[in-house]
Amino acid sequence: MIVFASGNVTDALALLKFRESISIDPYGILLSWNTSTHFCNWHGITCHLIHQRVTELNLQGYKLKGSISPHIGNLSYMRIFNLNHNNFYGNIPQELGRLSQLHRLYLGGNQISGEIPASLGNLIGLTLLTMELNRIDGIIPTTFGKFQKMQLLNLRANKLSGAIGAFIGNLSQLFHLHLGANMLTGNIPPNIGNCQKLQFFVLSRNNLTGTIPLEVFNLSSLTNLLDLSQNSLSGNIPEKVSNLKNIGFLDVSENHLSGHIPGTIGECIMLEYLYMRGNLLQGIIPSSFASLKGLRHLDLSRNRLSGSIPNFLQNISFLEYFNVSFNMLDAFLFILSIILTIYWMRKRSKKPYLVSPIIDQLAKVSYQRLYNGTNGFSTTSLIGSGNFSSVYKGTLELVDEVVAIKVLNLQKKGAHKSFIVECNALQNIKHRNLVQILTCCSSIYYKGQEFKALIFEYMENGSLEQWLYPKTLSTEHPRTLNLDQRLNIMIDVASALHYLHHECDQPIIHCDLKPSNVLLDDDMIAHVSDFGITRLLSTINGTTSNQTSTIGIKGTVGYTAPVLKTFSLSFRDMYSFGIFVLEMLTGRRPTDEIFENGQNLHNFAKNSFPDNLVQILDPSLVPKQRQETVVEENNQNVTPTIEKCLVSLFKIGLDCSVESPKERMNMVDVTKELSKIRRVFLGSKIN
């Protein structure tokens, strides 16, 4: 039985009460939630390093079923609460309003019902709130007007009704607002114009009426998306639409908009997707559309447009979808419009890698913002480079967030496909040990060339490689990792691979695990990155089998399993993980010059296993006063507990990297073994 300090008892009891309210735990995630282990070591829990109070509760995507216990309101130090993508039902407890330290609240993708409690307005430090894809009804509380630090608010796909209150104008820091697919009524409040940092704005699929306020078109910050489709909005589209010069996606379809299409839309030169179908628009297609060089989709169907189809449209090289059917065209033009629509749709179907639906779901950032945030992609901002890309450290204006910007070198063969693969892999996966994609950029820049970039959260402590080899890589301060830290990093990486292999709807194989692709955040938590050659098991070679050929699947020399004709690709990652573990323990790269004439890192470790491991241990793990004698000593140079820990870790590394795929460990067993090792190791330190 663990004995807690008084404040810690409060957190422990609150968590145990929360566990009691969960009736189904299909993955056994909460088995670690018991009094024999300190709650800071429970799955999904992060604690403050000093006072050991819960700062994060993250149970995203584990298909847990139950209600949200009101006792959660006793976790007074919690900053992040994430229950996204589970099966929680019932009401949102009003006690959540007591979490005064909360910064991020994720409740999306559940079966939550009832009204949003007004008490949530007390969370004045909240910067992110997601409740999408639930059954929440009632109105949006006016107390939300207190969210003056709110940056992202997502309430889409619920049953919310009533008007959008004037409180929305108080959210001056907002850059992402999604209220689509509800039953909201009334007008769009004009004071939305106070949200001068808004980049992503969706009100589609509601029952909104009235005209579109001019203030919406004064939001020059709108660089990603404006979607007002499927409402009952009326009036004209104002000339001021030209203020949205950096907008990439504009959809006003399925409304009652009338008048002419303003020619000033041609000044929105970053437009890629323009949808105006199903309105009462009349007149001709403006000639200014010729300026929209990056346009990919244009849908003006089911209006009252007249005149001819402009010839300049054939000069827009990126146009993949074009539809002007069912307008007030003469018979010849009507037939021609149908033919052109079919032609462009077929043209699109022949370009499978030009645009991915997954990429379209990502909120996009403009080229100009990335250019400004990296001082023109200067060499001083460059922090790394690879086969297909260069990575820059930058700041996104408006939100003042430091990010890592991965710019694809599209001149290299395979770079475009790498971009698609990484977007597909990262869009729908979320795990604390996977690098988080924030947004992307897919546009045309001033030279008329295509530009693609992925934007990730920035990891202050760089890559694991920089910590393992501080002498060979330039660093301002010497970096070393003790055994505790290395063990935690191994567990973090194993947890990420376990999630990718066994917990995703579509299993994902990383294919290039190595220290340079493991990034460390401020708290030295590891995040697996670089999914450019990732494979989705159900889509490899058009098969649904886990068995596939390894021919043509590239990786990094030394970390890639010996090529066999066929085997389960998950064992490829297991081999890489085994080499990864051995490298962390020995401090030797698998490409070290000592590995010649058939020798490799696996055999190097195997020859010293289990009695002489200290001789091959990374010197930084051996106390300086003992380094001169370890060559002549065996494992007796370390304590029995440390020896047991080392033997167990080396065994995992060796068992994962054996030549025969069938004999390798799987990630389920690896994560269990690593957790046991940590419990023994930490237990010995406490005692």
Express each pLDDT in 370-387 by its tens digit.
Answer: 887 888 888 888 888 777
Asked if residue 410 and residue 322 are part of one domain, the reply reads no
∠ Cα 175 240 243 (to 5°): 45
Asked if residue 649 and residue 508 are part of one domain, the reply reads yes
512 in active site: yes
CATH number, domain of 267, equals 3.80.10.10
Closest listed residue to residue 99, CA positions, set 129, 125, 63, 131? 125
For the cut 80, the answer to whether the pLDDT of residue 196 exceeds it is yes
In terms of phi and psi (left: phi > 0; alpha: psi -120 to 50; beta: otherwise), the region of 133 is: left
In a domain, 1, yes or no: no
CATH number, domain of 646, equals 1.10.510.10
CATH number, domain of 363, equals 3.30.200.20
Residue where one domain finishes, among candidates 457, 488, 520: 457
Q: Residue 336 sits in which domain range? A: 237-349
Asked if residue 554 and residue 410 are part of one domain, the reply reads no
266-276: burial string, b at 16+ Cβ within 10 Å, e else: bbbbbbbbbbb
Burial of 473 (0-12, 13-18, 19+ CB in 10 A): middle
CA–CA gap between residue 389 and residue 412 (Å, rounded): 9
In a domain, 301, yes or no: yes
Distances (CA, A) of 457 to 84, 405, 439: 19, 9, 10
pLDDT band at 400 (very low <50, low <70, confident <90, very high): low
CA–CA gap between residue 518 and residue 389 (Å, rounded): 17
Closest listed residue to residue 671, CA positions, set 12, 153, 32? 32
In a domain, 38, yes or no: no
Express each pLDDT in 406-454 by its tens digit.
Answer: 888 877 776 666 677 667 666 667 788 988 878 778 776 644 567 888 8
Q: What is the pLDDT of residue 687?
A: 44
Structural contact between residues 560 and 451, judged by C-beta atoms closer than 8 angstroms: no
In a domain, 425, yes or no: yes
Q: How does DSSP classify residue 463?
A: B
Asked if residue 340 and residue 262 are part of one domain, the reply reads yes
Residue 159 assigned ligand-binding role: no
Question: H/E/C letters for each residue in 225-293?
Answer: EEECCCCEEEEECCHHHHHCCCCCEEECCCCEEEEECCHHHHHCCCCCEEECCCCEEEECCCHHHHHCC
Q: Between residues 660 and 173, which one has the greater pLDDT?
A: 173
Check 11, 227, 299, 512 and give the catalytic one: 512
In a domain, 414, yes or no: yes
In a domain, 92, yes or no: no
In a domain, 478, yes or no: yes
In a domain, 91, yes or no: no
CA–CA gap between residue 38 and residue 430 (Å, rounded): 25
Asked if residue 385 and residue 321 are part of one domain, the reply reads no
User: Which of 74-88, 98-112, 212-226, 323-337 has the lowest average pLDDT?
Assistant: 323-337
Rg, the chain, Cα only: 28
Asked if residue 468 and residue 421 are part of one domain, the reply reads no
Asked if residue 418 and residue 366 are part of one domain, the reply reads yes
- What the block records as the tokens of 87 is 């099966």
Query: Considering its fold, how many domains does the chain have in total?
Result: 3
pLDDT band at 512 (very low <50, low <70, confident <90, very high): confident
Residue where one domain finishes, among candidates 429, 457, 485: 457
Neighbours of 503 (CB within 10 A): 17
Asked if residue 375 and residue 435 are part of one domain, the reply reads yes
Asked if residue 290 and residue 244 are part of one domain, the reply reads yes
User: Which of 213-217, 226-230, 517-521 has the lowest average pLDDT?
Assistant: 517-521
Asked if residue 644 and residue 543 are part of one domain, the reply reads yes
Asked if residue 627 and residue 531 are part of one domain, the reply reads yes
pTM exceeds cut of 0.75:
no
Closest listed residue to residue 280, CA positions, set 220, 246, 346, 328? 328
Express each pLDDT in 314-335 by its tens digit.
Answer: 777 778 888 988 888 654 455 5
Asked if residue 632 and residue 535 are part of one domain, the reply reads yes
Residue where one domain finishes, among candidates 425, 457, 489: 457
pLDDT band at 590 (very low <50, low <70, confident <90, very high): confident
What percentage of residues in the chain have a pLDDT greater than 70?
80
Q: What is the pLDDT of residue 425?
A: 64
Closest listed residue to residue 60, CA positions, set 76, 73, 43, 47? 43
